[in-house]
Structure 1
Amino acid sequence: MHTKATASPYLLDRHKTRLGFERAAHTYDANAVLQREIGHRLTERLDLLKMQPETVLDLGCGTGAISEHLLKRYKKARVIGLDLALNMVRKTRERGGWFRKPHGICADVARLPLRAQSVDMVVSNLMLQWCNDLPAVFGELVNVLKPDGVLLFATFGPDTLKELRASWSKVDGFTHASRFADMHDVGDALLQAGFRDPVMDQETITLTYSEVRGLLRDLKGIGANNATQGRNQGLTGKARLQAFLQAYECFRWENGLYPATYEVVYGHAWAPRLLPSPLPEKFIPIRKL
């Protein structure tokens, strides 16, 4: 007897993901308080990397805040902003000065349109959680990075939006948020793809809201729509939304504020070193018996 394998309800719909960010390109900056703060903390870690890269890739560039920082930090580098959403790429290309702006590419990280060994550094702020297959994505990055190139990233861990997920679980059986990879699983995926010397750490950041609807507005404003395959394909009715808001009440603090937890995973890893070419056969010493 054969059973048909069913896809995980947490697999992300790439079209739905892209559409959410396309629509949010003009509202993203006004709502991306957390994303800016994490981006600031991420780019501070560049101080530890004593590099002067020629080409830097901002992977999942959004509206280009990281790309603009990279232009200022590495004044001679070519900065490329890559995003799945074309409207985000257009915003990124508006960054910078008159004579120097980021290059923009609209593409899927699973199929990078870049030459092998053409990038010295990849910086990615809160994009990897939108990928279904981390080892495959990391494999793409190993391919485009030069030997000894570096990947620096921030992504979300499993405790992210735990209050939202727990509240919705009391209302229905649909998926309402992505399933975020554990820090150790991300590290294993890096090694599986061929990266070396990964360094990982995490922190928890809690945002607070005077009302839960404020959290929902922020998520919509940055384009972080529910793109899971197991989501409710119809509209969320008033009764179900009210039941969700009521369930969230159990998380309200004594001061009346509602928390939204984000587990932030930071990491960096190095591309494989350039191995020395093997000696020509005539120079291989032969051991005499």
Structure 2
Amino acid sequence: MSLIDKTRARRSFERAAADYDSVAVLQREIADRMLERLDYVRLEPARILDLGTGTGYAVDRLQRRYRRARVLALDFAHGMLLQARRRGHWMRRPACICADAERLPLADASVDLIVSNATFQWCNDLLGTFGECLRILRPGGLFMFTTFGPDTLRELRDAWSQVDAHSHVSPFLDMHDIGDTLTEARFTDTVMDAERLTLTYARVHDLMRDLKVLGAHNATEQRPRALTGRARIAALADAYELHRSAGRLPASYEVIYGHAWAPLQRPVSGGVAIALSAIGGRKQAR
């Protein structure tokens, strides 16, 4: 698995922050679909973490759903948080935290609900990241997220493979591997599923422009360092034409949804488990 260059990724999202919402159609759609799943659980969280909040799109919906909850918005790009801090009612702005999802600056058992939309593909240590999420969740707390699977941007990856042998598309983990990692991190009642969504474009240049505006550049450490010249872009466009259907160029996304619960028992030294009380009002509809 290629590692993500976090410095490059952060800089890309810093530059993208002001215009991100103008092209984030897919990101808003999958956030809506994820948050709709909260209809099937009964939870009364006092504190919610929107992990990888971006411009804070989910904040408004979370505050409307949980009117008594305090929403924390965390992102590693300060520019994104400048957008997110405007969300919510003027008397209930989110508390914005600039930090990396792999090292959360929050106390143990301090959050009742974590939601995260399209963030974990930017993490290098997924097990450690999930461990951090479990650490800050209170017993019986809920963890709900989306990320992207390996079929994401498969047309773009295929077209680039016909141009050169470099890595041009960030790597994405398989749904089953993510589920196994949740189990290894000691989450319980894990549920994983996936769906495929497709955006279409008139030209490959339009897709590349959207990815640039989103800040979703290739941030792998194995990426080519030289500038992409016109000749290679033209070759990419020609290769991508093989995927044209009904007059449009598809860009496929494999969207992975996951949710899991923090256990009501936490292991301690010596292998002894201690029982802890759940957060108020938690009931799971199954």
Normalising TM by the smaller chain, what interval?
over 0.9
Shift of 1:274: 3.3
- 2:248 is aligned, of 252, 257, 282, to 257
1:236 aligns with 2:205: no
Q: In the TM superposition, what whole-angstrom CA distance separates every residue of 1:186-236 from its partner, at most 9, and x where no partner exists?
A: 000001111011001100001111111111111111110110111111110
Q: Does 1:107 align with 2:79?
A: no
Q: Partners of 2:46 and 2:260 in 1: how far apart?
A: 18
Matches within 5 A, 1:17-96: 17-96=9-88
C-alpha separation in 1, matches of 2:5 and 2:153: 19
The one-letter amino acid of 2:25's match is V
Give the structure 2 partner of residue 119 of structure 1. Answer: 111
Counterpart check, 1:273 vs 2:264: yes
Cα deviations by residue, 1:97-120 (Å, 9 ceiling, x for unpaired): 121111100001111000000000
Match for 1:16: what amino acid? R
Structure 2 match to 1:4: none
The one of 176, 187, 209 equivalent to 2:168 is 176
Give how far 1:147 is off.
Answer: 0.5
Q: Give distance in 2, aligned partners of 1:274 and 1:74.
A: 26
CA distance in 1, matches of 2:147, 2:133: 16
Structure 1 vs Structure 2 CA RMSD: 1.1
Query: Closer, same or farther in 2 for the Cα pair 1:91/1:266, shift >3 Å?
Result: same
| Secondary structure of 1:79's aligned partner | strand
The SS at the match of 2:163 is coil
Per-residue CA distance 1:31-90 (angstroms, 9 max, x = gap)? 100101111111100111100100000000000011121111110001000001001111
CA deviation after TM superposition for structure 1 residue 277, in Å: 4.3
Q: Is the 8 A contact 1:68 1:102 kept in 2?
A: no
Cα distance 1:277–1:138, how it changes in 2: closer, same or farther (>3 A)? Answer: closer
Q: Which residue of 1 aligns with 2:217?
A: 225
Residues 92-142 of structure 1 show CA distances to partners (whole Å, capped at 9, x for unaligned) of 111111211111000011110000000000000000111111111000001
Runs of 4+ in 1 over 3 A off after TM superposition: 274-278
- What count of residue pairs does the alignment treat as equivalent? 269
Change (3 A) 1:238 1:121: same
Answer yes or no: is 1:14 the counterpart of 2:6.
yes
What letter corresponds to residue 197 of structure 1 in structure 2? D
Deviation at 1:273, TM superposition (A): 1.0
* TM-score, with structure 2 as normaliser: 0.92
CA displacement at 1:248 relative to structure 2:
0.4
Q: Report the Cα distance in structure 2 between the residues aligned to 1:61 and 1:277, rounded to whole angstroms.
A: 33
Distance 1:200 1:277 in 2: 28
- Contact 1:71 1:79 survives alignment (8 Å): yes
CA contact (8 A) 1:71 1:102 kept: no
Amino acid in structure 2 at the alignment position of 1:84: F
Query: Secondary structure, in 3 states, of the residue corresponding to 2:102?
Result: helix
2:280 — aligned with what?
A: none
Which secondary structure state, in structure 1, belongs to the residue aligned with residue 55 of structure 2? coil
TM-score (normalizing by structure 1): 0.91
Identity of aligned residues (%): 53
